[in-house]
Amino acid sequence: MLFSVLVETRLRPGIADPQGATIERSLPHLGFDGISGMRVGKALRFSLEAADEATAQAQADQVTQRFLINPVIEDADVTVSVAEPA
């Protein structure tokens, strides 16, 4: 079966986020007030062939932890769903 995988990465709490800080600092100058806690992450989307959803989830979790994130500074949410037929 073909599954769609969405991996959303974010910096772990307490890890400084220079991108988020720069964006947040620029907001008042652009007229956007009241925004705080800006943090930048990544979204990675891919397809995965696996026998069933549990296997797909396990494989997606494994590649995420081993390669797609640096666990020293990042966390991730991994969402697996059955791919829509083309």
Partner 1 sequence: MSARIGVVVFPGSNCELDVVEAITGLGGQAELLWHGDISLGQVDAVILPGGFAHGDYLRPGAIARFSPIMDAVREHASAGGPVIGICNGFQVLTEAGLLPGALQKNVGLKFLCCPSEIRVETTSSALTAEATVGDVLRIPINHFEGNYTCDADTLALLRGEDRVVVRYVDNPNGSVDDIAGVCNEGRNVVGLMPHPERASHPLIGSTDGVVLLRSLLISAGAAVA
Which residues bind to partner 1, rule: CB under 8 A? 14-16, 18-19, 21-22, 67-68, 70, 72-73
Give min distance, CB of 30 to partner 1, in A. 17
The secondary structure element, H or E, covering residue 74 is: strand 74-82
In terms of Cβ atoms closer than 10 Å to its own Cβ (0-12, 13-18, 19+), residue 4 is middle
Give min distance, CB of 42 to partner 1, in A. 9
- Which CB atom, from 20 or from 83, has the smaller least distance to partner 1? 20
Give min distance, CB of 22 to partner 1, in A. 5
How far is CA 35 from its chain centroid?
A: 21
